[in-house]
């Protein structure tokens, strides 16, 4: 039946499409696992936040009711002009989000699978991991940074699935490469284990990373625009007043983002650009009025990520002003070389108002929605994909940021 087809598609891909609606449910763990052959992402490590841990320590960041109540009480002040504008935006999408959530709650087959998402493997290493995890940001900023090397340990039977016409790559068992400000690629059709500073990292099949500060990003610019990227996802470290956010990673003032040479990464036939933004009105105005124009990106659509708990309810009330249960992904197009710019008009228009639903992972990870955008990217298929400010790697993607190996630590993975 249709329902069991949808269910088995979901179990195989991690993506569940609701009939007659622009809503998609995503299980990030299943989506990510398609990048791996020998390893898989530990569901309980990914989801430790919204699936109640059996350990008494638990996660102190799970919003508890008393904190929620405080937030609600604070909301009674009158809104200033900017807040009013934000509220207007919110009122406009509310119906759409409620409808999406309604379709989700109506899909009983899917709801029945929710509890199984966390896998049942008890991820015990979390606290230990937090203490001993490498700080790539620190390592990358010392004078020895250029000396740090990563060792990729290939199996002898690993072969590239395609050599893309490039000179034959010779797969010796080990490859040792500088880890900072260097494009490290695994062209093989299987994941490889890598060693760096006494830790192990799992590098997905057909993927690459370039680890550097924004100051060195120009070293990743492709030499010819035919080798540029036609799908670019960006999740900048927006400045935020929350002290908790500041603790997790360094943030960047908006003016630095204006100087990001986005255009130079764009494929000759143009690119679809997807930018994660917070719900702050000031930021939305900055992106629409300054950042997109500076990058040469034409705004197309806004997509929404609606966050639910394991029981299917929203992670917070829809109307909670400073703690909305959704985030926005702004979609735009960037032209490539003039000769090709006509191609853009032949594109399928981006589905406006699409809603992605998922249970948030820990460390405010974004769900891997990149492949849902594939079909809208101009130029070559499968698209050449770039993620900027990435903390993880995905097959078919190049990940750039100052810690793209962050979630590749082997302790987030299970074998087989």
Rounded to an integer, what distance in angstroms lies between the CA atom of residue 218 and that of residue 211? 12
- Please give the residue ranges that form the binding site for ligand SAM (CB under 6 A): 137, 213-214, 235, 237, 249-250, 252, 365-366, 389, 391-392, 401-403
C-beta closer to ligand SAM: residue 97 or 393:
393
Closest-CA residue to 18 (of 374, 371, 366, 357) = 357
C-beta closer to ligand SAM: residue 30 or 391:
391
C-beta closer to ligand SAM: residue 103 or 402:
402
C-beta closer to ligand SAM: residue 270 or 370:
370
Minimum distance between the CB of residue 27 and ligand SAM, rounded to whole angstroms? Answer: 15
Closest-CA residue to 268 (of 398, 384, 399, 386) = 384
C-beta closer to ligand SAM: residue 228 or 236:
236
Minimum distance between the CB of residue 34 and ligand SAM, rounded to whole angstroms? Answer: 17
C-beta closer to ligand SAM: residue 46 or 249:
249
C-beta closer to ligand SAM: residue 209 or 249:
249
Minimum distance between the CB of residue 66 and ligand SAM, rounded to whole angstroms? Answer: 28
Minimum distance between the CB of residue 218 and ligand SAM, rounded to whole angstroms? Answer: 12
Phi, psi (deg, nearest 5) at residue 398: -105, 125
Q: Which helix (H) or strand (E) holds 255?
A: helix 254-258
Name beta bridge partners: 201: 194, 409
Rounded to an integer, what distance in angstroms lies between the CA atom of residue 133 and that of residue 190? 25
C-beta closer to ligand SAM: residue 14 or 401:
401
CB neighbourhood size of 77 (10 A):
8
Q: DSSP letters of 390-409?
A: -SS--TTEEEEES-TTGGGB
Closest-CA residue to 373 (of 263, 272, 239, 228) = 272
Pair of tokens at residue 291: 């950042």
Largest CA distance in the chain: 66
Q: Which helix (H) or strand (E) holds 13?
A: helix 2-13
C-beta closer to ligand SAM: residue 31 or 188:
31
Task: Count the residues in the chain.
Answer: 416
C-beta closer to ligand SAM: residue 284 or 366:
366
Minimum distance between the CB of residue 410 and ligand SAM, rounded to whole angstroms? Answer: 17
Say if residues 96 and 304 touch (Cβ distance below 8 Å): yes
Q: Which helix (H) or strand (E) holds 9?
A: helix 2-13
Rounded to an integer, what distance in angstroms lies between the CA atom of residue 184 and that of residue 146? 14
Rounded to an integer, what distance in angstroms lies between the CA atom of residue 276 and that of residue 259? 18
Name beta bridge partners: 385: 231, 397
Give Cβ neighbours of residue 92 (< 8 Å, ≥ 6 apart).
Answer: none
Give Cβ neighbours of residue 108 (< 8 Å, ≥ 6 apart).
Answer: none
C-alpha separations of 147 from 122, 245, 378, 382 in Å: 37, 31, 39, 35
């Amino acid at each position: 039946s249709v329902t069991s087809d949808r269910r088995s598609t979901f179990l195989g891909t991690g993506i569940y499409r609701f009939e007659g609606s622009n809503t998609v449910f995503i299980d990030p763990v299943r989506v990510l696992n398609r990048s791996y052959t020998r390893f898989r992402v530990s569901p309980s490590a990914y989801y430790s936040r919204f699936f109640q841990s059996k350990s008494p320590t638990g996660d102190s960041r799970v919003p508890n009711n008393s904190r929620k109540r405080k937030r609600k009480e604070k909301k009674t002040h009158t809104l200033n002009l900017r807040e009013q504008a934000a509220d207007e935006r919110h009122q406009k999408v509310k119906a759409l989000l409620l409808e999406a959530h309604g379709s989700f709650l109506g899909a009983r087959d899917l709801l029945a699978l929710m509890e199984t998402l966390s896998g049942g493997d008890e991820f015990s290493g979390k606290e230990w991991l937090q203490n001993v995890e490498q700080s790539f940001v620190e390592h990358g900023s010392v004078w020895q940074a250029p000396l740090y090397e990563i060792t990729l340990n290939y199996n002898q039977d690993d072969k590239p699935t395609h050599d893309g016409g490039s000179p034959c790559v010779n797969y010796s068992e080990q490859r040792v490469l500088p880890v900072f400000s260097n494009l490290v690629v695994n062209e093989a059709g299987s994941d490889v284990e890598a060693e760096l500073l006494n830790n192990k990292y799992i590098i997905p099949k057909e993927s690459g990373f370039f680890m550097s500060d924004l100051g060195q990003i120009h070293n990743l610019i492709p030499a010819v625009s035919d080798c540029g990227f036609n799908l670019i996802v960006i999740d900048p470290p927006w400045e935020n007043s929350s002290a908790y956010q500041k603790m997790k990673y360094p943030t960047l003032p908006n003016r630095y983002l204006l100087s990001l040479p986005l255009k130079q990464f764009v494929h000759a036939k143009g690119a679809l650009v997807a930018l994660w933004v917070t719900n702050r009105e000031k930021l939305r105005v900055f992106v629409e009025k300054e950042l997109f124009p500076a990058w040469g990106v034409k705004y197309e659509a806004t997509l929404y990520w609606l966050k639910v708990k394991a029981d299917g309810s929203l992670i917070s009330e829809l109307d909670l002003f400073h703690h909305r249960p959704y985030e926005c992904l702004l979609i735009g197009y960037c032209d490539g070389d003039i000769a090709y710019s006509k191609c853009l008009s032949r594109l399928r228009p981006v589905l406006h108002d699409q809603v992605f639903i998922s249970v948030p992972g820990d460390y405010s990870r974004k769900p891997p929605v990149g492949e849902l955008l594939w079909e809208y990217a101009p130029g070559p298929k499968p698209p050449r994909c770039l993620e900027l400010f990435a903390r993880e790697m995905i097959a078919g993607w190049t990940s750039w940021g100052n810690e793209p190996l962050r979630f590749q630590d082997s302790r987030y993975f299970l074998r087989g």
